[in-house]
Structure 1
Amino acid sequence: MRDQDDLQAAIEGEVPVERANIALFGATGAGKSTLLNAIFGAEIAQTGIGAPVTNETEMFVNDAGTLAIFDGAGVELGGRNPVRDITQRLFRNRQGESDAVIHVAWYCVNSQTGRLEKGQRDVITKVAALGIPVVLVLTKANVRNGVVEPKTASLADEISKMTLPIVGGRPVITSSVDDEFNGVGRFGLETLLDETYRVVPEAQKISVAGAQKIDLTIKARYARSWIAGAVAFAGGVGATPIPLADAALLVPAQAALMARIAAIYDIPQAKAAKLVGSTTVLAAGAGKMAAASLLKLIPGVGSVISAGVAATLTGVLGESWRVTTERVFTGKFDLDDADQLTKIAEMFASNMKSGAKAEAAPAATD
């Protein structure tokens, strides 16, 4: 099936987002791995899977390739300082390593220590002096019913008065684990993400949004903004009515849209392409086969594609794909299970059909 192959190849060839690079600092025991796992998932920072960057720094990259964590192997007071490693990476970036730039640093401090030492303040200042935004994170906070333990709140107030070069001028208080026995839940993770989005470039905002595991709302918002852009493009393609046979002109735009949406839901390109090519049912949503299938559901359209029809096809395709990838992301489907792939394909086709009918209803009554 040529159209299926074209769409699958186009998705594999897409570079949907640019990788976000986060430098992670903090003493051993500061809760860095727990924080990362709570926000980005357990695959990011399991012991022993990092690739060495220098003697003091390891790099962890998620499966989708949208996020890299540069873990500075424990900033111990009086010990070795990984700031040198970050300096080296910035120098290498200036030499042409476009993927080496650090976009933001998280400096983690165990809130239970009740203090921020001079050595820690010096590291924060040095990193910020390199032009890297630093978010200071107080970890392991005790929070009950949304109320932060007084000693941690006081520590945050004291740090705020130090006028350190940190994002927002104030540390972000976090709790990364659920403690049902004591009635304590996760806290501050969305705030940490918000502070991170605020300082990284736009392309990296999308990468961080795609990699994080805790906020489906921002994923849907980015995905739907892309769908709206693709709909506008498709409407332009169809501004002059084109024959049904030429509907494949929409394939590159559809591929770009589907690749981006897969990235925002943290699905690697190879798996996204596998999902597209899994069954002929799913393939019926691609290129001019999508047009042929959906036109049957839209009464009175005929054999040409107008701006409205092109926009409808792309909008339905985009939202159907968004719903599908969201369900994969939330664990409702497993892409490595052949039987489930068929179910995913059937769900995708069903969403396409119901979406087309919904879009066609107003036009049918004109």
Structure 2
Amino acid sequence: MNDEAHATLDPKPFLDATEKAKSRYGRFNLAVVGGTGVGKSSLVNAVFGRDLAAVGKGLPVTRGAHYFHDDALGIWDLEGFEIGSHKTPAESLRESLAAIRQRPDDEQISVVWYCVNSHADRLQEPEIAMIDELSSAGFPVILVLTKVDWAKNPITGQRSVAKDLRDFVDWLEEPVDRTGQPIMLPIESVILTSTRDKHGKGKGHGLGELVAETLALSPDNEKDAFRIAQRLNLPWKREMARPIITAAATAAAGAAAVPLPVADALTLAPIQLGMMGRISAIYDMELKTMLSASALAQLSVQMSGQALARSLIKLIPGAGSVINSTVAFALTAATGEGWMRLCEQVHTGKIDVTRIQEAWGDYAPGFVDVVRRMAGQRNGS
């Protein structure tokens, strides 16, 4: 296959696989409730890596309810308790929820974060009424305390909070009125969070716990969408990606059951590009809108493993001038792992997506990667 053919390799299998995966995973919709200045935008940005009002397409649905979304994530921004409204907060929230119920199925709320400034000493009655309204509508509610000031023990390294806040948390877990009578507060849990340390730096604390609790409360058919949308827990994404890599490597081995000449290595390209497209969806990468068609075609050539096969095949003992099933499996698996690592770097903002073509050379598998995979396959691992 000549160089001109290489330069025009069709990236369609990559793009099709990405779109199909997005359709399969769907969208996770989170409602974030809280008053002005409570820190909703900072919280969403810390967990999902995007600003609340800049998630994507979005318009006000009704007064007090705004919806923003992209492929994997939808954010309902709902007003919290504010002084001065002519309606009670519960009435306004009820109207917003009624409007949301009229929206399409892929915009319906799955989990609610009810955000409260940690410097408050207790919830006000209108806030309790709003939480009750959300729970009555069938939504699991996580009460998120924001802007927590943590103190770190210099000896043990453990973090703690001030007694006033600890007392507030105790009250939230077993709320009582001023006479000591129990109050019904239908929340699933209380999570203490900060998006920055006391010096305004760092990644904050409590966010991992918030992400884990949100996943646990998500509907089963939306858990993968949430894993895709969040940017804090990379192991979740690897757990989703590795079965895709194994399946593609197995398919490549089947395609090379009759050994392929190295010159025909691009026969495996649709399998490998489909694998990479599905992995891209897991890392919420939208290459189609960020790279030109020609750049995508050239990247597809680099990613497909054909050039790597040319250089490796001569070094693999006993391989000769063909790609057999063992080599095809190993090459595809190693390519998938390299692509997954690169996607992680783009996903976490360490590599700009426009530089992905030049960066691929640092993540494409080398001789040692492929030989190790071959040895693992022979040993049944």
TM-score by length of 1: 0.80
Residues 132-141 or 270-279, more deviating: 270-279
Number of the residue aligned with 2:75: 69
Residue of 81, 85, 101 corresponding to 2:92: 81
Question: Match of 1:359?
Answer: 373
Q: Is residue 2:246 matched to residue 1:228?
A: yes
Aligned to 1:308: 326
Q: Write the mapping of 1:1-366 to structure 2, written as runs, cut at 5 A.
A: 1=5, 3-11=9-17, 13-16=19-22, 17-45=25-53, 50-62=58-70, 65-76=71-82, 78-79=88-89, 81-92=92-103, 97-145=104-152, 146-162=159-175, 164-167=185-188, 170-180=189-199, 186-235=204-253, 237-238=254-255, 240-241=257-258, 243=260, 251=269, 253-270=271-288, 277-278=295-296, 280=298, 283-286=301-304, 295-296=313-314, 298-301=316-319, 306-336=324-354, 340-349=355-364, 351=365, 353-360=367-374
Aligned length: 351
**Cα contact 1:125–1:164 (8 A) shared by 2:** yes
> Secondary structure of the equivalent of 1:176?
coil
Change (3 A) 1:173 1:269: same
Structure 1 residues 118 and 242, CA gap change in structure 2 (3 angstroms)? farther
1:160, distance to aligned residue in structure 2 (A): 1.4
**Greater mean alpha carbon deviation, residues 210-219 or residues 138-147:** 210-219
Instruction: State how far apart, in whole Å, the 2-side matches of 1:45 and 1:330 are.
Output: 20
Q: Secondary structure at the match of 1:177?
A: coil
- Say if 1:313 and 1:44 are closer, same or farther in 2 by CA, change over 3 A: farther
Tell me, in whole angstroms, the C-alpha distance in 2 between the residues paired with 1:269 and 1:103.
28
Q: 1:364 to 1:213 in 2, by over 3 A?
A: closer
User: Any unmatched runs of 5+ in structure 2?
Assistant: 153-158, 176-183
SS at match of 2:351: coil
Segment drifting more, 193-202 vs 124-133? 124-133
* Secondary structure in 1 matching 2:353: coil
Asked if 2 retains the 8 angstrom alpha-carbon contact of 1:57 and 1:71, the reply is yes
C-alpha distance in 2 between matches for 1:306 and 1:203: 39
Please give the per-residue CA displacement for 1:250-272, whole angstroms capped at 9, x wherever unaligned.
55553443233223333224257
Name the aligned partner's letter for residue 147 of structure 2: K
Identical columns (%) = 32
Contact between 1:39 and 1:189, CA under 8 Å: does it hold in 2? yes
Alignment partners' CA distance in 2, 1:13 and 1:290? 27
Using a 3 Å threshold, how does the CA distance of structure 1 residues 85 and 226 change in structure 2: closer, same or farther?
farther
Distance 1:7 1:76, change over 3 A: same
Indicate how the Cα distance of structure 1 residues 190 and 309 shifts in structure 2: closer, same or farther if over 3 A, else same. same
* Structure 1 residue 242, shift from structure 2 partner: 6.0
Q: Is the 8 A contact 1:75 1:82 kept in 2?
A: no
Larger Rg: 2
CA–CA separation in structure 1 for the residues paired with 2:291 and 2:267: 19
Q: Is the 8 A contact 1:144 1:185 kept in 2?
A: no
What CA distance in whole angstroms lies between the structure 1 residues aligned with 2:141 and 2:118?
A: 17
The Cα offsets for residues 173-209 of structure 1, whole Å up to 9 and x where unpaired, read as 111222238x997221111000011011345333323
CA distance in structure 2 between the partners assigned to 1:319 and 1:275 by the alignment: 25
Structure 2 CA distance for aligned equivalents of residues 113 and 250 of structure 1: 60
Cα displacement (A) at 1:276: 9.7
| Deviation sequence 1:29-85 (CA, Å, 0-9, x none) | 2211121122222433359985222232112224xx211111013343634623432
Q: How far off is 1:226 after superposition?
A: 3.2
1:331 positional shift: 3.1
Letter in 1 for 2:206: G
RMSD: 3.6
Question: Tell me, which stretches of 5 or more residues in structure 1 are unaligned?
Answer: none
In the alignment, is the contact (CA less than 8 A) between 1:230 and 1:254 conserved in 2? Answer: yes
**Residues 58 and 71, structure 1, Cα contact 8 Å, conserved in 2:** yes
User: How far 1:290 moved relative to its partner?
Assistant: 6.6
